[in-house]
Structure 1
Amino acid sequence: MIVISSGSNHANAQTSMNTWAGATAQRVAYSTSRLQNRPDSAVTRDVRSALWRTPNLDASGIRVRARLGTVTLTGWVPERRQISLAGHAARSVRGVRSVSNQLLSRNSR
C-alpha cells in the first residue's frame, strides 16, 4: 500500500521500500529453491551416467536407486577397486547427499 502525502519524498521512499522488500523476498525464494532436493529419477539417471563415464569402471552389473538424495548402489563389479570408483562417481553427482555402497566384487576370469 502506498501512502500519498503532500510531500513527494515520502511517497517515493515508501515505493522504494516496497520494491526493496520485494527484491529481498525474491532472493530468499530463489536461494531456498536451490536447496531443495532434485527428483529421485534425475539423480538416478545422473548417477548411472556418471558410472558409465568413469574410466576403468565396468558399470554393467551395478543397479542404482535414489531416495531423497540417498543413493544405493547394489550389484557387482569385476574388481574390488571398482567398488570405491563407483562410490566416488555417485558422490560427485549434484543432489546426492549420501551413498550406500553395497557393491560386491566378482573375480573376473
Structure 2
Amino acid sequence: MNNHLIFQKIINKEIPSNILYQDKIVTAFEDINPKAPIHILIIPNCFIKTPNDINANNKNIVAHMFYTAVQIAKEKKISKDGYKIVVNCNENGGQEINYLHMHLLGGVKLKTLY
C-alpha cells in the first residue's frame, strides 16, 4: 500500500496541514491524531521508507530531523521540562505510515513503554 503518499502531499502542500517548519530537507507539522498536548511529526522531504533504509547517502537527513525536533521543542517551550522523540520501524515497531517520520511529544509528563 502507498500510504506514504499522504506525507508527500503534505510536503507539496497539496492537502491542508498545519506546517510549523519546512526547509529543503525536512517538513514538520502537527499530528492530526495527537497523543500529547504537543505532538509534531518531522519528516524528510525525500522518501525514506523506514529507519532500516537509512544509509551513508541519507544519514545527514536524519541528523537534521533531530536538530529540527530540538529547535521546535525549544520554540514550544518544552525543552526544559522534557519531551520524547519517537521513531517507529515496521509493523511490529508501530510504524503505521511507510515513510520515515519522527514524533515530537511533550507538554505533559509522558509515560515510558519499558
| TM-score normalized with structure 1 length | 0.30
- Higher relative contact order structure (alpha carbons within 8 Å, sequence separation ≥ 6): 2
Question: Which has a greater percent of helix?
Answer: 1
**TM-score, normalised relative to structure 2:** 0.30
Max Rg structure: 1
